[in-house]
Structure 1
């Protein structure tokens, strides 16, 4: 009977294996996290009508999985959200098998919308941006260590490594631009985003890679997806401070420096920043507001297919 019912599949992805659970069939299987394993998995799920395939974001492992299952109704779940759901059901134990079952239950109960398929060039851009972020973190850590070095050998090695990181970052930026320039739609998106005062070509490329949905969202959705929409805290007559959480950290990371620039040189956003500071808001809150306005503006401009124009005084 269960073979004819729509199924929600939960998959826990690890380096070596894919632990799967079909619900309501209640059937679990494990497959190797290899090309042969993907082929066997696709054959296994073909026996049902599958509504969703839920899995957690796991970096390089989930990207290979997504590419192998193109055309399937994939739902990527934030690991923290998945863990909180499991705790809400009273499940405290954590194993790969339990996680797969919980993901299937979560998909069935909450019915998250499957992710739209991403083009191969966007997957490549996302991989480049992730690699670039890693190099930037390495550069920052090395610069911090460099301050405490005293031996000439170590200083020389640190300098050479920093030069190597700079070359690698330049190569990544060049390849990202090559990918963008090969697609007229991406060229136009980059042109629109980079037209916003405070945002440059590099940030535009990062936003295209990390938030390809820009232009297809409502403004509130764009802010929420980036994790820049304030979350209210209220109970009875008590009201706590609003805060941001969740969303895509890499989008916020890409927007932070442009927001600092926009707070000084973008006439519209500079006025808003100064207004918030004058009202006694902390600088961090004011900058977060500027970041939110940047992503909302980019979304609205792409949707309207027009570049940013400075407001008249």
Structure 2
């Protein structure tokens, strides 16, 4: 009570800072030296909460400084800010307006919620896994082009690029494996891979992009990754519940993991077949349910510090 609710609009070169109840906006450089100086001047103990939107990596300096100063912060989904903007009837959009809007959102909306502490993410590992995902997308695109091209010159060019991408991807995969093996994440990675259907790619992605794993309940971790169905009912009408938003990188690897699990994991296979055969769910809907069950199970394994105990016994 009595502490400042602050909104920060993060750009590449600067940060606009708004305080709830104060119309003024201060602009500082987007680097750790400037942010640390501002925090020291204003006093970290006077700040109740800082809200900001994800900006594709430009917010990393801010996250580090706030974490070091032990200031509570929340990275807000842009859709929530858009909805809040509409409720407030604000049509203009500038950096100072967005900073004041985020400050108001923190004071009026976030203070009503039960905010979970945000675990510190491993930025090095996150960048490595992001780079692997980029290389995989580029490799897939070039391979598809090579499959349909007629010109020998163009095919030769594509094959050269594909070879470079494959070497780069192999180097990044090796770097990720070595980084995890030599870090505190090694045991977590080994534990996640005891689940039949979760391989190195799933373990590495969850560690890098879902630091909340093991710290939230099953419902919250599913919602965070966009695997919790949202009901769309009104009166007597029953709409189609859908999933979405969240962490697309996590959902992508869980999709591939779920396809493997329904083939080789007896628990997940029985769960999938029950949904399809007994409950008459479409295959994609049932697969989404398997993804959610996988994530909830992996979350519980990390939370409880236990390996997967229901793996199929090897054949005699």
TM-score (norm 2): 0.90
Q: Determine which of 101, 116, 124 is the counterpart of 2:118.
A: 116
* Structure 1: 5+ residue stretches without partners: none
Deviation at 1:181?
A: 1.8
Q: Aligned with 1:61: secondary structure?
A: coil
Change (3 A) 1:265 1:195: same
Counterpart secondary structure, 1:60: coil
Within 5 Å, give how 1:71-220 maps onto structure 2. Answer: 71=69, 72-110=71-109, 111=111, 113=115, 115-118=117-120, 122-184=122-184, 186-220=185-219
Q: Residues of 2 paired with 1:307 and 1:236: CA distance?
A: 45
Check 1:17–1:118 CA distance in 2 against 1; reply closer, same or farther (3 A cut): same
Q: Which residue of 2 aligns with 1:283?
A: 283
**SS state of the match for residue 148, structure 2?**
coil
By how many angstroms is 1:218 displaced?
Answer: 1.4
- The match for 2:47 is 50
Change (3 A) 1:44 1:19: farther
Aligned residue pairs total: 307
Distance 1:247 1:188 in 2: 26
**TM-score, normalised relative to structure 1:** 0.90
**Distance change >3 Å, CA 287–CA 238, structure 1 → 2:** same
Per-residue CA deviations over 1:12-49 (Å, capped at 9, x if unaligned) read 11112211111123331112223443244334543871
Shift of residue 179, structure 1, vs aligned partner: 2.3
Compute the displacement of 1:228 (Å): 0.6
User: Deviation of residue 92 (structure 1)?
Assistant: 2.1
Unaligned residue ranges in structure 2 (runs of 5+): none
Q: CA deviation at 1:64?
A: 3.0
Aligned equivalent of 2:35: 38
| Separation in structure 1 between the aligned mates of residue 166 and residue 312 of structure 2, nearest angstrom | 40
The answer to whether the 8 A contact 1:12-1:56 is kept is yes
